[in-house]
């Protein structure tokens, strides 16, 4: 395990701490990113600079952690991409949150070249990435997951095998749908309380003890009480994730009316300059729409 060569592409907000945890676990890490400062930081922490996708493709397991579907497509299937460069029998683990439909097509493409792929998106945010406590939702073959398990275990504590190729991304889409809708439940309930002159802290406390209990009420409800909408998980990213869920809905014939409405509300936040705030700022928006003066 330790000393095994692992490739890593995408040293962004999430990728950086994930790469650090792979180094801590003793993997020989070969990194690549267009951001040379991020590469320099990883090298200072003990990684090697792969210099290109071809360089990273030497590894038996290559992890990608990229912003969106087109980024993954470019890195996998673009000129000089991993699909061309990786050896037969090595494994591609895409941990980005991207389209399940595109994921199935990427997996087919890589499989045809003898490179099995796992889709392994995460939840737990930057804090989970830092602490190595991410929850990882995996699609792909069980035996391939077993080969990659030590690598995933260096970054997360819960590794759930959901199903075949794309199932990890479907699970992540379902997760984001549920998280966003639960956050909006807090936003409407807390705004209704405030506008009716009732202490929202008491409402949160009472509701946490019953059927209305949710992680969102606990964590994001506290944010509403504190007027703290600093990200956390940004509006722009949640909006992108819901776009993926809605596309998966359209492609599969699944109407998602509330997800669609909430994605529009995130669009309002983004259009009015609040795209960098935490995704709990749906509560800020609902309060504004109710005429409560802004808190952020």
Catalytic residues: 172
8-state DSSP, 124 = S
User: Which x/- pattern over 181-220 shows residues binding a second copy (rule: CB under 8 A)?
Assistant: xx-xxx-xxxxxx-xxxxx--xx-xxx-xxxxxxxxx-x-
* DSSP-derived secondary structure for 26-59: T-EEEEE-S-HHHHHHHHHTT-EE--SHHHHTTS
7 three-state secondary structure: strand
Only segment of 60-68, 70-78, 109-117, 153-161 that touches a second copy (CB under 8 A): 153-161
Name which of 74 and 258 has its Cβ closer to a second copy.
Answer: 258
Per CB under 8 A, the segment of 87-95, 145-153, 248-256, 270-278 that binds a second copy is 248-256
Among 146, 252, 272, 296, binds a second copy (CB under 8 A): 252
CB of 139 to a second copy, least distance (A): 8
Among 248, 269, 283, 284, binds a second copy (CB under 8 A): 248
**262 is a contact residue toward a second copy (CB under 8 A):** yes
What crossing angle do the helices spanning 167-195 and 282-289 adopt, rounded to 10°?
Answer: 40
- Min. distance of Cβ 199 from a second copy in angstroms? 6
The closest alpha carbon to 64, from 18, 104, 20, 27, belongs to 18
Q: How far is the CB of 97 from a second copy (least distance, A)?
A: 13
Q: Could you tell me which residues are beta bridge partners of residue 28? A: 5
**Among residues 3 and 197, whose Cβ is nearest to a second copy?**
197
Report the alpha-carbon angle 46-50-54, nearest 5: 155
13 binds a second copy (CB under 8 A): no
Does 175 engage in binding with a second copy (CB under 8 A)?
yes
d(CA 155, CA 164): 22
Least Å from the CB of residue 129 to a second copy: 14
Structure tokens that stand for 283 in this block: 């509560």
Helix (H) or strand (E) segment spanning residue 296: none
């Amino acid at each position: 395990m330790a000393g095994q060569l692992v490739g890593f592409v995408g040293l962004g907000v999430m990728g950086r701490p994930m790469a650090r945890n792979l180094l801590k676990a003793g993997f020989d890490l070969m990194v690549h990113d267009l951001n040379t400062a991020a590469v320099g930081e990883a090298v200072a922490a003990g990684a090697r600079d792969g210099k290109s996708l071809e360089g990273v493709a030497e590894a038996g397991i290559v992890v990608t952690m990229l912003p969106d579907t087109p980024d993954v497509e470019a890195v996998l299937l673009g000129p000089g991409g991993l699909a061309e460069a990786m050896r037969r029998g090595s494994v591609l683990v895409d941990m980005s949150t991207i389209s399940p439909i595109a994921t199935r097509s990427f997996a087919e493409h890589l499989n045809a070249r003898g490179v099995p792929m796992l889709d392994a998106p995460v939840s737990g945010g930057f804090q989970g990435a830092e602490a190595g406590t991410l929850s990882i939702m995996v699609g792909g073959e069980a035996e391939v997951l077993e080969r990659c398990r030590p690598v995933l275990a260096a970054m997360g504590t819960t590794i759930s095998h959901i199903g075949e190729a794309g199932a990890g991304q479907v699970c992540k889409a379902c997760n984001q749908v549920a998280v966003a809708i639960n956050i909006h439940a807090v936003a409407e309930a807390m705004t209704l309380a405030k506008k009716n002159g009732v202490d929202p802290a008491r409402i949160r406390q009472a509701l946490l003890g019953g059927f209305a209990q949710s992680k969102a009420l606990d964590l994001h409800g506290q944010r509403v009480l504190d007027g703290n909408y600093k990200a956390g998980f940004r509006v722009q990213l949640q909006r992108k994730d819901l776009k993926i869920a809605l596309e998966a809905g359209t492609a599969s014939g699944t109407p998602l009316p509330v997800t669609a409405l909430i994605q529009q509300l995130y669009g309002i936040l983004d259009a009015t300059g609040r795209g960098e705030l935490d995704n709990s700022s749906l509560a800020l928006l609902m309060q504004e729409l109710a005429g409560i003066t802004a808190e952020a």
